[in-house]
Structure 1
Amino acid sequence: MAERRNEQPPSDSRRKFLKYSGTAIGGAVVGGVIGGAIAGGFRKNPAAPAPAPTTPGAATQTADFNQAPMYFNQFQMQITEAAAERIYPKDDIGPGAAELGVAFFIDHQMASPWGINAREYRIGPFIKGEVTQGDYQIIQRNELFTMGLQAMEEASKKKYTKSFIDLTDEEKDAILTSMDKGEILVINEVTGKTFFNLLRRVTLEGVYSDPVYGGNKNMMGWKMRKYPGNQMVYTEIMEKSEFVLMEPRSLHDHFATH
């Protein structure tokens, strides 16, 4: 995994992260949010006649209409999913970014007002600041992201003569590492490091945000950390000294029951 390239193996590092973060959270936690892609799999059924047509307007219980692209094209979704999976890979603790639907979360963010920096000051001059000042760029986040994906794809073809999605895990890590070091240029003075920081940020947000935003599928990201999600009240456990394991709740659960 790119962000752990100079440390221990991804699964070992992630195992410790989940262990210690769970300990730090403690018993009573205030609910809130941090800011395979398609659920289910396939079940084998015995041969049977075709089902009767459903009533017009009726939706299947397993349908998840939040798992749909709003900004990326198909290839951009694939490369985003492949990159996010290397930042948060599947291991023996639980699913990775791909299975958690993180690519859909990122896609939805890019299609949102946040993706076009709608609530930020956008009038120049656009001057390169100090390292401690952060980025202030003329291009929007969604533009930066799609340009970063394209730069990553071009770097993959130049170095390995293959698309990023066809690289081995080690080769993907090498490209992401070059991005993180700023060795790959995205546009003008915008280096790959700026893109990588954005990619890493939205990947982790997609793992741990409320499922209504597209990621954290089936709240599996929360379940790995024993995080309760968006509970309405904690009055029954607030005075308990031991850690209380609660079934996580999404904002969707509250909307569905009220």
Structure 2
Amino acid sequence: MADEKQFSRRDFLKTTGVATGGIIGGSLLGGLIGFNLDGKSSDSSKDSSDQGGGDSHGGHDGNGDGGMFNVPDKGRVFFENDADFATIEAAMERIFPETDVGPGAKGLGAAYFLDGQLAGAYGFNSKEYMQGPFHEGLPTQGYQSHLNRAEYFRLGVKKLQEEAKSRHDESFSQLDEKKQDEILKDFQEGKVDFGVPKSTATSSYFFTMLRSATLEGAYCDPIYHGNRNMEGWKMKQFPGHQHSYLDVIESDEFMDIEPLPNFG
């Protein structure tokens, strides 16, 4: 009977990395990607090249120059409207701009990270209590809106566009940096009316979520579609998911280690 099982316990242990010292840094997910339950490896590189087209980013082969977990630029799942995506991308770039040190939010693909998050459990608050009553919460109480995050971000993007149109008769993404900053500052200070009860949705909390998503997209594991080519990690000199530090752990000098993604 055991011989008839195509995916044995031994195969599972080998695939997830448990047999070589435990699940470290997401190796459970990493082992199962590219491995079908019938025990045959899938051609992930072929699949990724057929999805969405466009330039690829994200580099999961450990050397930052691409790999089978690259993310196509046109592979959006939430922001289907190009104008909306350009708006959120421009806003994120002002929060995390490109400098001499390295790329900004746009170059790091932070908007693609947010796009994927809003299409999933984060966007729909799937694991959170979302029933009333709704009251204005304290800063320590976290999310209090009757809108889920997907709705909140759609509303926020709409308001960014409306403010840009009403003030300058241009789309937000086409404004110069100074004008974009002025609008974002008003969002941060809660001066933009969202047109919903103030106790449940404000422009200031939208800005707070946008800023958090920008930083998360800049420094996440590249499998989540941000931190392209691990450039965010490189700027921080973060080594990523190294398998071991045994060869350098006794050194008294700072070690500049090339970062590795989850599946490096």
TM category, shorter? 0.7 to 0.9
- Identify which of structures 1 and 2 has the higher relative contact order when contacts are C-alpha pairs closer than 8 Å and 6+ apart: 1
In the alignment, what sits opposite 2:169?
161
| Distance in structure 2 (CA, Å) of the matches to 1:241 and 1:143 | 51
> Is the CA contact 2:25–2:262 (under 8 Å) kept in the aligned structure 1?
no
Amino acid at match of 1:207: A
In the TM superposition, structure 1's runs of 4+ consecutive aligned residues that sit over 6 Å from their partners are none
* CA-CA distance at 1:32 after TM superposition: 6.0
* CA-CA distance at 1:59 after TM superposition: 6.5
> Is the deviation greater in 90-99 or in 130-139?
130-139
| Distance in structure 1 (CA, Å) of the matches to 2:227 and 2:139 | 32
| Distance in structure 2 (CA, Å) of the matches to 1:242 and 1:113 | 42
Amino acid at match of 2:205: T
TM-score normalised according to structure 1 size: 0.72
> Is the CA contact 1:66–1:213 (under 8 Å) kept in the aligned structure 2?
no
Amino acid at match of 2:148: Q
| Structure 1 residues 210 and 66: CA distance shift in structure 2, 3 A | farther
Report Cα offsets for 1:142-177 as digits up to 9, x if no partner: 110110010111011111111101100000000000
* CA-CA distance at 1:58 after TM superposition: 7.6
Q: How does 1:70-89 map to 2 (within 5 A)?
A: 70-73=77-80, 74-89=82-97
In the alignment, what sits opposite 2:99?
91
| 1:193 and 2:204 are equivalent in the alignment | yes
Question: Over aligned residues, Cα RMSD in angstroms?
Answer: 2.1
In the alignment, what sits opposite 1:174?
182
> Is the CA contact 2:71–2:225 (under 8 Å) kept in the aligned structure 1?
no
Report Cα offsets for 1:214-256 as digits up to 9, x if no partner: 0000001111111101112222222222211111000132xxx
| Distance in structure 1 (CA, Å) of the matches to 2:94 and 2:25 | 26
> Is the CA contact 2:48–2:71 (under 8 Å) kept in the aligned structure 1?
no
| 1:135 and 2:135 are equivalent in the alignment | no
| Distance in structure 1 (CA, Å) of the matches to 2:120 and 2:186 | 29
Name which of 212, 225, 228 aligns with 2:236: 225
> Is the CA contact 1:66–1:212 (under 8 Å) kept in the aligned structure 2?
no
In the alignment, what sits opposite 2:111?
103
Q: How does 1:1-258 map to 2 (within 5 A)?
A: 63=56, 64-65=70-71, 67=73, 68-73=75-80, 74-188=82-196, 189=198, 190-253=201-264
| Distance in structure 1 (CA, Å) of the matches to 2:112 and 2:47 | 24
| Distance in structure 1 (CA, Å) of the matches to 2:157 and 2:178 | 18
Q: Which runs of 5+ in 2 are unaligned?
A: 1-23, 27-45, 57-69
Compare CA radii of gyration and give the structure with the larger one: 2
| Distance in structure 1 (CA, Å) of the matches to 2:49 and 2:171 | 36
TM-score normalised according to structure 2 size: 0.71
* CA-CA distance at 1:202 after TM superposition: 0.3
Q: Which runs of 5+ in 1 are unaligned?
A: 1-30, 34-56, 254-258
* Number of residue pairs the alignment of both structures matches: 200
| Distance in structure 2 (CA, Å) of the matches to 1:91 and 1:242 | 28
| Distance in structure 2 (CA, Å) of the matches to 1:77 and 1:32 | 31
In the alignment, what sits opposite 2:34?
none
* CA-CA distance at 1:129 after TM superposition: 1.9
| Distance in structure 1 (CA, Å) of the matches to 2:122 and 2:106 | 22
